[in-house]
Amino acid sequence: MDNEIVEKRSLTPAVDLFVVSAPEIASHCEPGQFVILMAGEKGERVPLTIADFDRDEGTITLISQRVGKSTHYLGTLKAGDRLYSLAGPLGLPAHVHEKYGTVACVGGGVGTAPLYPQARALKAAGNHVIGIIGARTADLLILEEEIKGVSDEFYVTTDDGTKGEKGFVTTVLERILLEKQVDRVIAIGPVLMMKFVCRLTEEFGVKTIVSLNPIMVDGTGMCGACRVTVGGETKFACVDGPDFDGHQVDFEELMERQRFFREEEELAFEKYKQECRRNADG
Ligand code: FES
């Protein structure tokens, strides 16, 4: 049945993986594209980049981190449940079917999920793929085996040193940039991580593509919620992206806009938690 969750797994205590039946989307989605889903009738619209797809099975894989009310509710759904709505594929496909040479694929936290299909396609196109993934701590690392499986070289970092190298993805990336020629960098993760990766690669003159995940509402370029400034021009991440040349992105503005609704989000989440507690108490 369309929109049915056929598999659900927890990747970390706060990150869920869903394989969803969506034959129409699976038939023509490409790495880099995303969907907007509503877990329940009253939920928010949640944009999630497609982490994998299986055209034969007619399924797509979505990975969601529980951060607010809607993503926590999504996390309560199980295999056999249906998403209330699912729209996509949205956005432009990433340019990952070309041969650039050596490509460093850098993923931070849950950003590793959308990185995976891009790394896989770059590898299939004959690129030498260097996978670098990082998280705050070992428990928050996801898709390690998957990224490793499509990488010619593979590195893991954690901020606290609980796995791989202690430090940030940029520490490893800088070392690699000093050692060898890298022709392109793909960076997907927290905005701050992407900003620092771009600052670094700019020094080395290596083109860097980032995938932006601003607040989205309609996903069709009509509402303006996902406005970002790239190269001094206004762009809409949902139709002009989500991938952009990282050296052109105004990261300060993006971070500012992400903070816009934080108070409302926290209030909604608090209310939701109280409702859940009331329901649990009967
Ligand atoms: S989400 Fe509305 S314009 Fe992009």
Alpha carbon of 22 to ligand 1 centroid (Å): 22
Tell me, yes or no, whether 37 and 155 share the same domain.
no
Question: What ligand 1 atom has the least distance to the C-alpha of 219?
Answer: 1
- Summarize the confidence of residues 258-270 as an average pLDDT: 61
Tell me, yes or no, whether 128 and 209 share the same domain.
yes
Structurally, the chain folds into a number of domains equal to 2
Q: Say whether pLDDT at 201 is over 90.
A: yes
- Summarize the confidence of residues 104-126 as an average pLDDT: 94
CA-based R_g, the chain, Å: 18
Instruction: With respect to residue 114, please indicate whether it lies within any of the assigned structural domains.
Output: yes
Question: What ligand 1 atom has the least distance to the C-alpha of 238?
Answer: 4
Smallest CA-to-CA distance from 34 within 148, 113, 127, 125 is with 113
Tell me, yes or no, whether 251 and 172 share the same domain.
yes
Tell me, yes or no, whether 153 and 250 share the same domain.
yes
46, 218, 244, best to mutate for ligand 1 pocket (most atoms within 8 Å of CB): 218
Q: Say whether pLDDT at 275 is over 80.
A: no
Q: Say whether pLDDT at 259 is over 90.
A: no
Alpha carbon of 214 to ligand 1 centroid (Å): 9
Question: What ligand 1 atom has the least distance to the C-alpha of 224?
Answer: 3
Residue in this structure with the two tokens 């070392």, named with its chain if needed: 175
Q: Say whether pLDDT at 150 is over 70.
A: yes
pLDDT at 267: 62
Tell me, yes or no, whether 73 and 116 share the same domain.
no
Task: Report whether residue 222 contacts ligand 1, using a CB cutoff of 6 Å.
Answer: yes
Strand partners of residue 233: 230
Tell me, yes or no, whether 9 and 149 share the same domain.
no
Which among 66, 90, 114 is the end of a domain? 90
∠ CA 199-203-206, nearest 5°, is 90
Greatest Cα pair distance, the chain, in angstroms, is 62
Q: How far apart are CA 249 and CA 210, in angstroms?
A: 9
Instruction: With respect to residue 274, please indicate whether it lies within any of the assigned structural domains.
Output: no
- C-beta of residue 255 within 8 angstroms of C-beta of residue 191: yes
Task: Report whether residue 87 contacts ligand 1, using a CB cutoff of 6 Å.
Answer: no
* pLDDT classification of 102: cutoffs 50, 70, 90: very high
Task: Report whether residue 212 contacts ligand 1, using a CB cutoff of 6 Å.
Answer: no
Tell me, yes or no, whether 150 and 85 share the same domain.
no
Residue in this structure with the two tokens 């601003």, named with its chain if needed: 214
Q: Say whether pLDDT at 279 is over 80.
A: no
* pLDDT classification of 258: cutoffs 50, 70, 90: confident
Task: Report whether residue 125 contacts ligand 1, using a CB cutoff of 6 Å.
Answer: no
CATH number at residue 13: 2.40.30.10
- Summarize the confidence of residues 195-205 as an average pLDDT: 96
Q: Say whether pLDDT at 270 is over 70.
A: no
Q: pLDDT: is 245 or 139 the higher one?
A: 245
pLDDT at 260: 61
Task: Report whether residue 218 contacts ligand 1, using a CB cutoff of 6 Å.
Answer: yes
Tokens representing 242 are: 């989500």
Looking at residue 186, the DSSP 8-state letter turns out to be: E
The percent of residues above 90 in pLDDT, for the chain, comes to: 70
Q: Say whether pLDDT at 271 is over 80.
A: no
Q: How far apart are CA 235 and CA 240, in angstroms?
A: 6
Alpha carbon of 46 to ligand 1 centroid (Å): 12
- C-beta of residue 253 within 8 angstroms of C-beta of residue 267: no
Q: Say whether pLDDT at 236 is over 90.
A: yes
Q: Say whether pLDDT at 265 is over 90.
A: no
CATH number at residue 244: 3.40.50.80
Instruction: With respect to residue 221, please indicate whether it lies within any of the assigned structural domains.
Output: yes
Tell me, yes or no, whether 144 and 227 share the same domain.
yes
Tell me, yes or no, whether 80 and 119 share the same domain.
no
pLDDT in tens, 29-76: 999 999 999 998 877 888 998 999 999 999 999 999 888 788 888 999
Task: Report whether residue 221 contacts ligand 1, using a CB cutoff of 6 Å.
Answer: yes
pLDDT at 266: 60
Q: Say whether pLDDT at 280 is over 70.
A: no
Alpha carbon of 239 to ligand 1 centroid (Å): 8
Tell me, yes or no, whether 45 and 111 share the same domain.
no
Instruction: With respect to residue 278, please indicate whether it lies within any of the assigned structural domains.
Output: no
Question: What ligand 1 atom has the least distance to the C-alpha of 217?
Answer: 1
Domain of residue 52 covers 5-90
Task: Report whether residue 219 contacts ligand 1, using a CB cutoff of 6 Å.
Answer: yes
